[in-house]
Structure 1
């Protein structure tokens, strides 16, 4: 039941602590899982700090030396404990009393990692579509690694050997143990907020499955997926595959391989530039040779080699065509003249004047109509007689 208090009727501290102890005692004995972050032995009692596998939360655990040595877990080991929550009302402190400790086996760890892998894959954190492309030549490389570790030397030395002008921004953190995941996440956050950092490398040497567990931590995986900067995973050796390899934008088999993947080799690039320059020079020379050959062929043509001769040839052709035109026109005019003369002779032969010159006369009445018979003329009618050179008016007589 809740304590009934007021400003006029407060309860003493001991009553509050006793109530808290009673509430905690109602929880009973439970199984909890965590990672041993610290271990101290004092006489027959062992004091442990049990850290949550994901969140930055820890609790004090007290057990006897016999319970602890039944398993003898090392710091950083993942364990399952059967505990009883206790609250010390005298000191106002909370602790878990361990009754039994069990080490988490490799098979169980693998099963949990597989379950987490499937969950994240279903959420799309491993999808190829969300992976970003690394820059060709990063200006500043962010490196997360252990303090004075071989992984740091491998990445830095190999990268500088390939491209001496490369720059690094190194964040050193724990790479194994209960605090590793949290420190890596914090280092990742610092580098991701730095606008000069173009790519981030998370590097660590090889190790056992337990040593590499921080790089399969769900909080770290989600932090990598949320980064705006491309992330390269260079954890362990070729056969090591923490879940970070699936979430990162690029997986490198080793820290040395990471240096080769993120920084181009200046010697290779210079050789490539030289090769491309030679190819360009050969292509340009070939094009110029083809154009020069085409120009020489054009210049060797008669129209270009001796343009006056071509004009003279065209002038000769024009004169020949003009002469042919004159001949054709003269022939056409001669034929037309002959036709006219023939037509004129025919007209003269058929003309009435020619008939009159042979002694004939044309008789016309007053209306101008030609008289063709005597029956058409009445007595006393005047007729016009036309001769070759003149005409005469006569009067018809019936007798």
Structure 2
């Protein structure tokens, strides 16, 4: 279904388990709650987690309670430094005062990542053996660009922390979460450090700026930046589409074993393909055109689909042209079975012939329902837009139709 965009190239991301509080730096070093002896060990529980967008080593991570650094034995802050694989260990006193607990991780270069854990009672109760807390029982122990994006979006009063009330009122939007997470990932993984600057002094503030439609460190709003091919010519991301696809796959990875194999059938019922535009050069004739499936085109393939009722996420994962998994994400309402799936490939250079540079952008959107047996019915719309450097001519092809899928 490549030609129809299905094959082209959270969210409530454990929200009671994935955000942060406060922008104050977390110092490195051992946590303030540790001490020797079995008696001291019985007075605390051990939180094991990881800071990752790709493992982030040598980051300081601290526990916060109601927006303030939590204290361990002797009043020392409960902090640690991540290992080479991004893992960390914090010792939390059993007698820690009641509050809303969060994590914040900081590293040089303006990297600030955040996650929410829950109330003190909820966190302590998540120690499965009474002594140790792992991401399996407390997903917020994994601090990521996605958890940070949700934190920034939930911080409605902009005070740099998320309260229990703010979290309870937060209604996630996967498209907004992924946009903020994409900007963070561009800084951490793809070297676009120019997004940090001005009011966006770190990645947490960057995520907030994206969520509020404000300018980033480079002076552009997110929508301008992601659609500007010149921003990607000298980065390891290659294209904006590569970066967006990476974030989509990160969302899919968090769903883990929730995926089920489906037989997906796509039927195109209508399409519009404009006439080819050609220009004569001394070296020859060049043409601009776009592509779309013709009406009555039917294609079938095997894909993986996951519906996460807790987070309100739908993800469809298929195999791309290079054999790697590609994910499209959307929302899911477990009460009605309604879902959406969206994939937006920003404008990228599709061909550079020397005399002419060609650009392409595409979208795919599907809305439908899944019944109790897992059967899916939906409609889709897709666009493919091609432009070139010769002039402002734009060729946009569209197609629409139906999608059906059943477990295979």
- Normalised by the length of structure 1, the TM-score is 0.23
- Which has the larger helix fraction? 1
Structure (1 or 2) with the larger CA radius of gyration: 1
- Normalised by the length of structure 2, the TM-score is 0.23
Which fold has the larger relative contact order, with Cα–Cα distance below 8 Å and residues 6 or more apart in sequence?
2
